[in-house]
């Protein structure tokens, strides 16, 4: 199996439905409405997806719940050949963005990640993530959580959620705070917003990576700017197809972006929600868009170069990615 580098995975969004159902039962929470008769998450469109996501997350209530989630998610990723994963972690869901509480959740998650690394050889790094539809004021304590825990495991700061709420500059304070603390920066943009949203995100938030960014393809001058700046896109094709951000696999712009010289990488976003895995993403890229193994490996190399880890970790993972070299 091809080893894989994944840069864009939401921890709660990667939760297997059976895991969430099990926790709901333990805690006597009724969230049966978010599952279909086969036990999969069910929703219609992006807004409902976000609501179902938050309902599923409501059963994750303690540091131990999140530690168990990290174990389940890393087991799942390791089975797909993922050797390095960057995962979005949300202080909003871990003790209401309170720094002291966040430290406890983080400690539990990190222990679980260390255990998974020993058992499965998969390395995890965390990107602290604000949630856009919770608003710019709420992003500030989240950025503070990130700033207070930067180093080693926590390497980045980002923003996800409803992209069309507000403008990137509304969140500039939080991104500035995170940057000054030494965090690397990424933001979801150009999944639902147009190229203007991608351009504003780069200009106003100073990010070095963009989550999705696919609508940049609608402005070729912007593509050139992104390529020249060496900004990396965390592209999640199966997510875009499942949520309707693109019309179908055949229409996905990932190859066109790559041909424009944009640094593109491949991730799953929230795999169980989109009935996907890293293996399936690679398979679909090969079958529908004609990606050769060498191109897939090249995107893995790009992903590792754009990873927010320290140089020693990068060098260690590089040897695993290409053992012969």
Q: Which residue has the tokens 């059963």?
A: 59
Find the catalytic residue in 6, 12, 191, 234: 191
Q: Does 163 bind Zn ion (CB under 5 A)?
A: no
Partner in contact with 63, chosen from ligand ADE, Zn ion, none, beta carbon below 5 to 8 Å by kind: none
| Interaction between residue 191 and Zn ion (CB under 5 A) | no
Question: 37 an active-site residue?
Answer: no
User: Is 161 a residue that touches ligand ADE (CB under 6 A)?
Assistant: yes
For the CA atoms of 261, 180, 191, 285, the dihedral, rounded to the nearest 10 degrees, stands at 50
**Does 252 interact with ligand ADE (rule: CB under 6 A)?**
no
Q: Does 91 bind ligand ADE (CB under 6 A)?
A: no
The span from the CA of 175 to the CA of 171, in Å, is 6
Residues in 254-283 that interact with ligand ADE by CB under 6 A: 269-270
Residue 235 or 299: the one with the smaller Cβ distance to Zn ion is: 235
Residue 86, classed as helix, strand or coil, is strand
How many whole angstroms separate alpha carbon 38 and alpha carbon 186?
A: 35
Q: Which CB atom, from 8 or from 125, has the smaller least distance to ligand ADE?
A: 8
Among 6, 86, 191, 281, binds ligand ADE (CB under 6 A): 191
Contact indicator for 291, 280 with CB cutoff of 8 Å: no
Q: Which two tokens mark 204?
A: 């106003």
CB 53 to ligand ADE: min, Å: 6
Q: Considering only residues 254 through 273, tell me which ones interact with Zn ion, judged by CB under 5 A.
A: 269
Contacts of 205 (CB under 8 A, 6+ apart): 168, 169, 171, 172, 175, 185, 187
Query: Considering beta carbons, is residue 108 or 197 the nearer one to Zn ion?
Result: 197
Phi and psi, residue 210, nearest 5°: -125, 130
- The span from the CA of 16 to the CA of 253, in Å, is 28
Alpha-carbon distance of 15 to 25, in angstroms, equals 15
Looking at 97, 160, 241, 264, which residue binds ligand ADE (CB under 6 A)? Answer: 160
Residues noted as catalytic:
191
Q: What residue ranges bind ligand ADE (CB under 6 A)?
A: 10, 13, 53, 160-161, 188, 191, 239, 269-270
């Amino acid at each position: 199996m091809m080893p894989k580098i994944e840069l864009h995975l939401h921890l709660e969004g990667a939760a297997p439905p059976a895991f969430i159902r099990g926790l709901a039962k333990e805690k006597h929470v009724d969230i049966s409405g978010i599952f279909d008769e086969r036990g999969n998450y069910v929703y219609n469109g992006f807004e409902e997806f976000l609501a179902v996501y938050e309902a599923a997350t409501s059963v994750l209530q303690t540091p131990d719940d999140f530690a168990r989630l990290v174990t389940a998610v890393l087991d799942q990723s390791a089975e797909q050949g993922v050797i390095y994963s960057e995962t979005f972690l949300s202080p909003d869901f871990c003790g209401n963005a309170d720094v002291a509480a966040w430290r406890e959740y983080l400690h539990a998650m990190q222990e679980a990640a260390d255990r998974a690394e020993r058992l499965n050889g998969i390395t995890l790094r965390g990107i602290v993530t604000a949630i856009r539809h919770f608003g710019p004021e709420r992003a500030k304590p989240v950025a503070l959580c990130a700033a207070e825990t930067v180093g080693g495991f926590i390497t980045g700061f980002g923003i996800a959620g409803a992209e069309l709420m507000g403008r990137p500059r509304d969140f500039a304070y939080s991104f500035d705070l995170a940057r000054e603390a030494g965090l690397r920066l990424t933001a979801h943009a150009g999944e639902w917003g147009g190229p203007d949203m991608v351009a504003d995100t780069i200009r106003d938030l100073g990010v070095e990576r963009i989550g999705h960014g696919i609508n940049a393809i609608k402005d070729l001058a912007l593509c050139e700017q992104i390529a020249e700046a060496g900004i990396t896109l965390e592209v999640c094709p199966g997510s875009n197809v499942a949520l309707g951000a693109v019309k179908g696999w055949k229409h996905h712009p990932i190859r066109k972006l790559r041909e424009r010289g944009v640094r593109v990488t491949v991730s799953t976003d929230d795999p169980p929600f989109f009935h996907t895995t890293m293996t399936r993403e690679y398979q679909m890229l090969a079958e529908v868009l004609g990606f050769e193994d060498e191109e897939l490996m090249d995107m893995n190399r790009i992903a590792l170069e754009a990873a927010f880890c320290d140089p020693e970790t990068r060098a260690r993972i590089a040897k695993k990615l290409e053992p012969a070299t």
